[in-house]
Amino acid sequence: TEHIPSSFYPRQGKPAHLAVEDRVGETVLADLARRGHALDVRPGWSLGRLCAVARESDGTLKAASSPRTEQGYAVGR
């Protein structure tokens, strides 16, 4: 979704806007549109590129990366 303002400048929000991959199927896309979502249909496996890192209270570092990017890795020390 892009309903919530972006964390990147200029921090624009797009109320009721939903970016969705085409692989969800026509039935789902039609139902989302019927419910009032402004759809931005993207190719399959093109959304959701992210990395995440967390440090536990005992100091353990956990990291993960989406395999959808060209460089999907997480490193820490």
Express each pLDDT in 28-67 by its tens digit: 999 999 999 999 999 998 888 788 889 999 999 998 888 7
pLDDT value of position 4? 81
pLDDT value of position 9? 83
pTM above 0.95, yes or no: no
pLDDT value of position 1? 66
pLDDT value of position 42? 94
- In sign, the C-alpha dihedral spanning 30, 31, 35, 38 is negative
Ramachandran region, residue 59 (left: φ > 0; alpha: ψ -120 to 50; beta: rest): left
- The domain spans of the chain are 1-46, 48-77
First to last CA, the chain: 33
